[in-house]
Amino acid sequence: MRGIEASLVVWNDVRQGQFASESIRRVAPLLTPGDLTLASSLVYLTLRRQYLWKEIYGRFLSASPSSVSQLTGDALCIGTAGILELRTFAPRVLVNGLVQVLKKKGEEKGARVVNAVLRRIASDGAEELRKIERSGGQKEQALVAGLPGWVASSWRNTWGDEAKSLLKMARVRPYASFRLSAGAGGEDLIERAGRKGIRCWQSPFLSSSLRLGTTIYPRDFPGYEEGLATPQSESSMLVGEVMKKVYRGGPILEMCSGRGVKTGHPASLFPGVPLECMELSRGRIDAAGRELKRLKLGENITLRQGDALELEPKAPPGMISLDAPCSGSGTWSRHPEGKWRLTPEKLDAFALLQEKLLKRALSLIAPGGVVVYSTCSLMKNENENVVAGAISSEKNCMELSFPFEGRLFRRGKPWGTYILPGLPWVDGFYIALLMKKSGGENR
C-alpha cells in the first residue's frame, strides 16, 4: 500500500467512528516510513479543516458535491488539503496518485472528476483560500479556524474580544513533548535523540518536559521503552505540577484515571504516598497496568475498575485528581476528529456527568483536602459552569489560588484557570482547585 491510498483508507475509518491515530497504527506495518509520513500528514491536514476544503473544492465542481460518490468526495477533500497545505509534495504527483486509486477501485467517472477539479485547484485554489481568509464573516472565520460554526459562536460568546486570538490558536499545529521520569537525565536523552536525528530541547515552561520540533511515534523516542520518557502535552503535565504545589498530605485518589499516562506523573511526584485509581473501562485499566509496568511504578498504587460515582475509596483521600471526561476541545489540533463528532447535545451530556463527578469528589475529600478538577476543554459549559453547580451543593469548600503565572493562563469567570493552546506543545486546558474547609477556615 502506498501513502496516498493509505490516507483514503484511514479517512474512511475515521468517518466510520475510528480515531485517526488508531487507524494509522493499523496500516503502518504495510507502509514504508516515507509513505507512513505522507499518509499521516494528508489525513491530519484534511481533518483539521475539512469543511474549509469541502467549501473550496465545491467551488470548482460543475455539479453539486452531493452528486459525487463517497470515495470521489474523499479524494477531492484530501487532494484539496494536500495541494494547499502540503509544501513538500508535488501537487501533480498527489493528483495522479488519487486518480490511480479511483481507477483501481473501478471509479472511472470519479477519477475524471478528481483529475479535472484538483488540477484547477492547483492553479487557482490558493486565491480562493485567500478570499475566504480575508473575509470577516463568521462562517468564513470558522472555516479558516477549522471549527464547527456553533463552536466558534460559543467561543465568541464566552471569550469576547479574545475569541479572535483563540480562533487563531486553534490552527497551531501540535508537536510532541515528553515527560521525563524521576531520575531520567534530560541532557542524556537530548543527546541520544540527536544521534537519531530527532531535534529536542528542554522546555522553558516545565523542567520535567522535553520539546520536539515535530511529532513522533512514542516508541521511536529514546528512553521510551526504558520508561524514562512519556509522551504528554505540557498542559496535562501541569496538572501534576499543580497537585505538587497544593498537596497537604494523605492518600491520593485519581478519579477517571484513563490509560495510565497521567497516572504515572503523580505516582512519580509523590513516592510512597498511597495512590488509588478508579476507571470505568476494563481496557483502560489493563492499559494503565502496562503503562505503570513500563515506568517501573506500581508500589503503593491501586488500580480499580468501576464507576467513580459509586466506588468507595479504600481510605479518606487527602487529595483527589478529577480529570473529567470532556469534549476535548482544547486538544482538537491533536485529535481533530473529535470536533466534528461533538454536538450541543453531547456537550450538555458531558457537563451533566462532570458536575456529578465533581460533586462526588467534594463529598469524598477529607476536611482540609483538595480536589483538582481539570478538563482538556475550552468550553465554559464544562468548566466554570460545572464548578459553580458543584460548589453550590457543597457549602463547606473554597477555591485555592492557581499557583502559576504566565501569558497563556487566563482566569475563568469566575472559577478556575484556563491554559490557552498558544504553543505547539501546550493544549487548551482548565484547572480549578477546591479545598474542603476543616472548620476554622473562612472563605
Parallel, antiparallel or unpaired: strands 301-305 and 275-279: parallel
Provide CB contacts within 8 A for 294, sequence distance 6+. 225, 227
CB of 417 closer than 8 Å to CB of 409: yes
Task: Write out the DSSP string of 119-140.
Answer: HHHHHHHHHHHHHHHH---HHH
Return the ∠ at Cα 150 (arms to 57 and 357), rounded to 5°: 130
Backbone angles phi and psi of 255, in degrees to 5:
-90, 145
pLDDT at 443: 39
Cell reading at 59 = 467551488
Element (H, E) at 386: helix 384-391
The model's pTM = 0.92
Name the architecture of domain 3-134.
Answer: Orthogonal Bundle (1.10)
Nearest partner of 124 among 80, 88, 90, judged by Cα: 80
Nearest partner of 211 among 184, 195, 193, judged by Cα: 193
**Count of other CB atoms within 10 angstroms of residue 358:** 25
The CATH class of 177-231 is alpha beta
CB of 275 closer than 8 Å to CB of 251: yes
The CATH class of 234-436 is alpha beta
Residue corresponding to grid cell 482548565:
430
Where along the chain do its domains lie? 3-134, 177-231, 234-436
Give the span between the Cα atoms of 121 and 415, in whole angstroms.
Answer: 47
Helices 33-48 and 3-15, packing angle to 10 deg = 40
Element (H, E) at 343: none
CB of 6 closer than 8 Å to CB of 35: yes
pLDDT less than 50: residues of the chain = 440, 442-443
pLDDT at 442: 42
Collapsed DSSP state (helix, strand, coil) of residue 422 = coil
Single-letter amino acid code for the residue at 378: L
Give the span between the Cα atoms of 287 and 440, in whole angstroms.
Answer: 43
Give the span between the Cα atoms of 275 and 270, in whole angstroms.
Answer: 9
